[in-house]
Amino acid sequence: MASPTLTIDLDKIEHNARTVTDLCARHGIEVAGVTKAVCGEPQVAMAMLRGGVAGIADSRLESIHRLAAAGVPGHRLLLRLPALSAVDEVVGSVDASLNSELSVLTALSDAARGRGRVHEVILMVDLGDLREGVWPDELVALARAVRDLPGIAIRGVGANLACLGGVVPDEANMNRLVELAEAVEAAIGERLRWISGLNSSGLALLASGRLPGGINHARIGEAILLGRETIHRNPWPGTFQDAFALHAEVLELKRKPSRPVGERSQDAFGHLPAFEDRGERDRALVGIGREDMDLEGLTPHDERLDIVGGTSGYLVVDVTEAAGEIRVGDTLGFTPNYSALVGAMTSGYVGKRLLARISHHRS
Q: Which residues are catalytic?
A: 36
Nearest residue to 99 (alpha-carbon basis) of 164, 45, 54, 149:
149
How far apart, in whole angstroms, are the C-alpha atoms of residue 3 and residue 140?
Answer: 53
Angle of helix 42-50 relative to helix 61-69, nearest 10 degrees, comes to 70
3-state SS record for 238-259:
CCCCCCEEEEEEEEEEEEEECC
CB atoms within 10 A of CB 213: 11
How many helices (DSSP H) and strands (DSSP E) are in the chain? 10, 16
Nearest residue to 88 (alpha-carbon basis) of 68, 116, 66:
116
Contact 108, 119 (CB under 8 A): yes
How far apart, in whole angstroms, are the C-alpha atoms of residue 189 and residue 330?
Answer: 65
How far apart, in whole angstroms, are the C-alpha atoms of residue 281 and residue 52?
Answer: 49
Q: What are phi and psi of 225, to 5 degrees?
A: -75, -45
Write the DSSP symbol of residue 23.
H
Contact 281, 320 (CB under 8 A): yes
Residue 285's SS3 state is strand
Query: Please, what sign has the CA dihedral across residues 159, 162, 163, 164?
Result: positive
Please, what is the Cα angle at 72 between 133 and 355, to 5 degrees? 105
Residue 291's SS3 state is coil
Residues 6+ away with beta carbon under 8 Å from 281: 255, 256, 257, 258, 318, 320
